[in-house]
Amino acid sequence: MSYDDIQTASVIRYPYLWAREAHRGETEGRKERPVAVGVRVPRADCDLLLLFPITTKEPGPARFASEIPLIEKRRAGLDPDLRLWIILDEYNTDIVGQSFYLEPEPPIGRFSKAFFLPLVRAFIARRKSLSGVNRTR
């Protein structure tokens, strides 16, 4: 197995740590969930991942999130019968090959560029006001 397939727009399983949990002092994600790889940033020593959580809980109107369409759920290997949202106003960062949480397993699927790239662009435009949890420590 290899980490090479974990790229931008891939969907993987990951023990995501919500920002509200991190603010309360928690250090571990409570359960493994699907997350979207927002960006894989190549670096000389090791690559950095930015991960967005996927949830069945409908986000409130103040959240920056997008409901995942049926065709995208299928592409991403997600349950097509569930309503799912990708949350974009918070994220985890982690390092490929040095993480306690990433496994060198193939992604469960991948979002299309047509769906995912506009979301990443909107995230970049708002990034300074969003909450990140660094899982690299």
In a domain, residue 3? The reply is: no
Is residue 52 in some structural domain? yes
Instruction: Find the domain containing 53 and state its range.
Output: 10-134
What pLDDT does residue 129 have?
A: 75
104 occurs within a structural domain = yes
Note whether residue 97 is domain-resident.
yes
Read off the pLDDT of residues 50-72 as tens digits, 9 standing for 90 and up. 999 999 999 999 999 999 999 99
More confident residue, 137 or 65: 65
Report which residue type is found at 54.
I
- Does 1 map to a domain? no
- Per cent of the chain over pLDDT 70 is 99
Reference 7, options 36, 33, 44; nearest CA is: 36
Mean predicted lDDT score pLDDT of the chain: 93
The reply to whether 114 falls in a domain is: yes
Q: What is the C-alpha separation between 57 and 83, in angstroms, rounded? A: 8
CB contact at 8 A, 35 and 53: yes
Q: How many residues are given for the chain?
A: 137
Among the ranges given (91-95, 108-112, 126-130, 132-136), the one the predictor scored with the smallest mean pLDDT: 126-130
Structure confidence at residue 132 (pLDDT): 84
pLDDT at 1 over 80: no
24 in any annotated domain: yes
State pTM to two decimals. Answer: 0.93
Average pLDDT over residues 88-101: 93
2 in any annotated domain: no
pLDDT at 130 over 80: no
Q: Does position 79 have pLDDT exceeding 80, yes or no?
A: yes
Q: What percent of the chain has pLDDT over 90?
A: 72
- Total number of domains constituting the chain: 1
